[in-house]
Every structure is written in structure tokens, then in C-alpha cells.
Amino acid sequence: MNRRLLADTLVDVAIGAAGAAAEAPAIVVTALTLSLPIELALEWTGNDWELRGDVPRTLTRTPFDLTPGRLEVVWTRGEQP
Amino acid sequence: MTPEASLPLEHFIQAVQRQLDNAQTAMAVKARSFNLPLTFAIKDITMDLRAHVEFARSEIRIRPAGPSDKDASVFHLVFTAITRPMIEENAIAFESDPQDEIRDELTDDERKKLEWSGVRTRSQLRELAERGGERQLERITGLPVDRLRKALEHSATPMIHDVSPAEPPSGEPADLPARLRLRGRNLMRNGPPHVTIGGEPVSVLSADAQELVIAPQAHQLAGELRVSTSPDLSGSTTFDLRPLWTAARAAAPPEERR
């Protein structure tokens, strides 16, 4: 199974959190700060290097798994363009 | 990627940047389709990348760590979003005249070595040589003195890119005296250059490094134009502007007047 692109991982996690918060009528989310383990890998597409970044796919680590790095991201809210 | 593959560090940074741009776009689209009243923009992102660092082909390259690499370095990368004015403010430092870029005088490898030491343009190379001398330049860039000397000479050589008629001052006849404007680079060094057409000297009316205005005589509106900024630095071009001046046509031999 291929790792997801870093952009997809970032957006999927953020949209999940923002979507869940939008269900609650009495609160407004102004920022999202996420800190998660991540497996980063680079893939040559033939034209460019593509950065893949996904959460670890297994809970237990074996010698065949990459040592995960850490990703921290801060999203701030803005008006819909 | 295979564990053996390595890439320049800047390619990695560009790959991160592309993913962040894609994330911003995708977030706006998804927020709309999920009917969220607001979208979110990435403000800061920090990531750890485990990789080996190599210096090869005059550039820093990284080789991402494989599963069994225990001794890999850790790159702790912090990115922050910046506004357009901040981008423009920072971009000024990298803007340079394309004519000033170091190109033919050095090989790709030598150019990378220079870039690694912060020298991207001919004027930066000259400035560094004037400030610290050739030996200092050799020590900083790792390039042999003779290669640097050659590059410096090449970078200081007058180059003429364009010869065209200059507007005559108001009140003067449009065709005499002829004034020519030369555009190029390194056209002036420590004083007005020596300019000849067909080996004969020509008056220089105004001069700076990018432009000269000269006043050739009627018979000097064609031929080999040479600009010398020192005894060993000169550049030349050939031109023919005779059809633009009636006086030149009048001065020409009868067979050339037609």
C-alpha cells in the first residue's frame, strides 16, 4: 500500500478535526494544532521528487519499518475565498 | 525511492513546498464541499526527516534513511507561511540582471562551487576579488586562481549588445551630427572608455557601465566598433547604420548612394 502524499494527509486530518468542531454550535474553532508521528518518503515521479507523508501504518514496529519522524502543523482560520 | 538514491537538499525543500501549496488549495476546496463556513490555512509546520547528508558534485545532497538506518541525521525543519510583501522583500536579494549571471566562463561544477560560497553574479565575483584578493577568493570558493582569473577577466570584458541611433538634442538637425547609443555591459571601468570605429577614435559624449553615447563622423556609421576600458579589456561588434543618415549617404561613394 502506497503512503499518501503529505498534502493529502495534512488536509484529511485537518478537515476531520474542523468538520467535527463545526458540529458543535456553541464553539468556534480558530486554530488547529496537530502533532503526529509521520513516515516521510520521497518518490521520483520521472519529473520531480514527490514527498509522501503518512501516519505509521502499523502500531508495532519491525526492522522493516521506517522510524517515524514527527510532524507538527498549525492551521489558522480564514474566510472562504 | 531506493535507499541508495540521494537528492539535492533544495529539491527536498521544493517537494515540501509543493505539498504545502497543494494542501492549501485542497483545504479551500474541501472546506467548501463540506459546507464549512471557514477555511484554514497552514501557519506553521515542523517536521523531522531522518536522512544521511552527503556533499557530492559540489552540492549538499540528502539520502533519506532506510528502515534499518540507526545512525541517520535528523533534519528538524520548520516552515512558516509568509505574506506576499514578505516574499517580495526577500526576493529582492536574489534578483539579478540576467546579463550579470556567470555562465560561459565557468563549468557547471565550478559555478555550483561559487554559488555555494554565495557568489552568483559577475559583479559579486568582482567585488569579492577586489575586497579580499585572488588568494582569499580561492580559499573561499575552492576554485584554482587561474580559473578565477579567467572568469574575472571574462566578467569584466566590455560587451556590446545593441547599437542604435540616439535622439538628437532638440533644435539640432535630425541627421547631423550623428549620435549613436551603445548598450551592453562593462562599458565603463575607471573612466570613459576608448572607442574606435574602423580603427579611428570616436568622441564619447556620455558613459556608464551599461550605456555609451558616441558621436561618430559621417564616414564612421558602419564598420567595426571597438570599446576598450583598459589596454587588455576590449569588446567589439560590427554594425551598419548608414541608411539612417542622409549625410552618410551623401558622404558615401556614388555607387553606395543608391
pLDDT tens-digit map of A31-44: 888 898 998 888 88
Radius of gyration for chain A, computed over Cα atoms and rounded to the nearest angstrom: 16
Check residue B258 and give its pLDDT. Answer: 47
**Residue B21 banded pLDDT, cuts 50, 70, 90:** confident
Residue of B nearest to A30 (CA): B40
Lowest mean pLDDT among A58-67, B84-93, B145-154: B84-93
In sequence order, the β-bridge partners of residue A39 are A54
pLDDT, greater one: B76 or B253:
B76
Q: How far apart are CA A19 and CA A37, in angstroms?
A: 22
Which residues of chain A have a CB within 8 Å of the CB of B7?
A: 42, 49
Q: How far apart are CA A52 and CA A19, in angstroms?
A: 24
**Residue A8 banded pLDDT, cuts 50, 70, 90:** very high
Nearest-CA distance from A71 to chain B in Å? 4
Task: Provide the residue count of chain A.
Answer: 81
Residue of A nearest to B40 (CA): A77
Q: Is the pLDDT of residue B96 over 80?
A: no
Lowest mean pLDDT among A52-56, B59-63, B119-123: B119-123
DSSP per residue, B189-249: SSSPPEEEETTEE-EEEEE-SSEEEEE--GGGSEEEEEEEEETTEEEEEEEE-GGG-HHHH
Q: How far apart are CA B209 and CA B99, in angstroms?
A: 12
What mean pLDDT do residues B85-92 have?
A: 62
pLDDT tens-digit map of B173-225: 555 567 889 999 889 988 889 999 999 999 999 999 889 999 898 888 889 99
CB hemisphere CA count around B207 (13 angstroms):
20
Nearest-CA distance from A59 to chain B in Å? 15
Which residues does A contribute to its contact with B (CB < 8 Å)? 5-8, 10-11, 14-15, 18-19, 22, 31-32, 38, 40-44, 48-51, 53, 63-67, 69-81
Which residues of chain B have a CB within 8 Å of the CB of A6?
A: 16, 19, 23
Q: Are B107 and B151 in contact (CB under 8 A)?
A: no
Q: Is the pLDDT of residue B19 over 80?
A: yes
Count of helices and strands (H, E) across chain B: 6, 12
What mean pLDDT do residues A43-57 have?
A: 87
Q: Are A50 and A41 in contact (CB under 8 A)?
A: no
Q: Do A80 and B7 touch (CB under 8 A)?
A: no
In sequence order, the β-bridge partners of residue A53 are A40
DSSP per residue, B67-118: TT-SS-EEEEEEEE---HHHHHHHHGGG---GGGB--TTS-HHHHHHHHHTT
From the candidates A54, A62, A73, which should be mutated to test the interface with B, based on the most B CB atoms within 10 A? A73
Q: Is the pLDDT of residue B239 over 80?
A: yes
Sign of dihedral through CA atoms B7, B12, B15, B19? Answer: positive
Q: Give me the residue from B5, B30, B69 closest to A15, CB to CB.
A: B30
- The percentage of chain B sitting over the pLDDT mark of 70, rounded to a whole number, equals 76
Q: Give me the residue from A38, A74, A77 closest to B38, CB to CB.
A: A77
In sequence order, the β-bridge partners of residue A5 are A52
The residue among A79, A37, A35, A80 whose CA lies nearest residue A56 is: A37
- In this complex, is the C-beta atom of B28 within 8 Å of any C-beta atom belonging to chain A? yes
Q: Which three cell numbers stand for residue B115?
A: 554559488
Q: How far apart are CA B156 and CA B161, in angstroms?
A: 15
Q: How many CB pairs lie under 8 A apart between chains A and B?
A: 134
What mean pLDDT do residues A33-57 have?
A: 87
Q: How far apart are CA A56 and CA A64, in angstroms?
A: 12
Helix axes B122-141, B108-116, angle to 10 degrees: 90
pLDDT tens-digit map of B26-83: 888 887 777 666 678 888 899 888 888 888 766 788 888 888 787 888 888 898 877 6
C-alpha distance from residue B25 to each of B28, B82, B87, B239 (Å): 5, 16, 19, 53
DSSP code for A66: P
Q: Give me the residue from A32, A51, A78 closest to B16, CB to CB.
A: A51
Q: How far apart are CA B2 and CA A66, in angstroms?
A: 13
Q: Do B40 and A42 touch (CB under 8 A)?
A: no
Check residue B147 and give its pLDDT. Answer: 80
Q: Is the pLDDT of residue B154 over 50?
A: yes
The reported pTM is 0.54
Check residue B3 and give its pLDDT. Answer: 42
Check residue A7 and give its pLDDT. Answer: 92
Check residue A62 and give its pLDDT. Answer: 78
Q: Is the pLDDT of residue B2 over 60?
A: no
Q: Give me the residue from A5, A69, A79 closest to B49, CB to CB.
A: A69
